[in-house]
Amino acid sequence: MTKEELMRKAIALSIENVKRDGGPFGAVIAKDGEIVATGVNRVTDSCDPTAHAEVSAIRAAAEKLKTFDLSGYEIYSSCEPCPMCLGAIYWARLDKLYFANTKTDAKDIGFDDSFIYEELELKLEDRALKAETLLRNEAIVAFEDWMKKDNKTEY
């Protein structure tokens, strides 16, 4: 399939999902023009705030391929990914992202991520979500143990 056909599939998934009362987002993961996995927004359906189309597609691809490293694959999203999904795309090591609707288009229909982008620029103490470091000296043991391991799988 061409990249346009793969994007049309992501768009079709988003349109179909709206008809099934889901969010207007779809995603496709492909390699060499072949679809490996797809995902749609299942936030309200699954009561899972992380069940965005891109994350769902990444989970499906990783499970199918039995790997967390999706190097060599591309993702086609019906909309520019939110910060969470963009982070997941980076962590999955996908080679390329294609998207159709923009984050401004999403904002215009009530899916506004600008607050998160703005929060990330603030100092920890200035963010709306209050946070504090707690028991770091106890938690650091896991990191020290990790660094000592010779047989760890780095990711």
Q: Exactly one of 4, 5, 34, 54 is catalytic; which is it? A: 54
Residue 30 Cα distances to 45, 56, 69, 74, 90, angstroms: 25, 14, 14, 5, 16
The conformational region for residue 80 under phi > 0 = left, psi -120 to 50 = alpha, else beta, is: beta
Q: How many Å apart are CA 89 and CA 62, to the nearest integer?
A: 12
Residue 54 a catalytic site member: yes
Q: How many Å apart are CA 82 and CA 49, to the nearest integer?
A: 12
Radius of gyration of the chain (CA): 18
Catalytic residues: 54
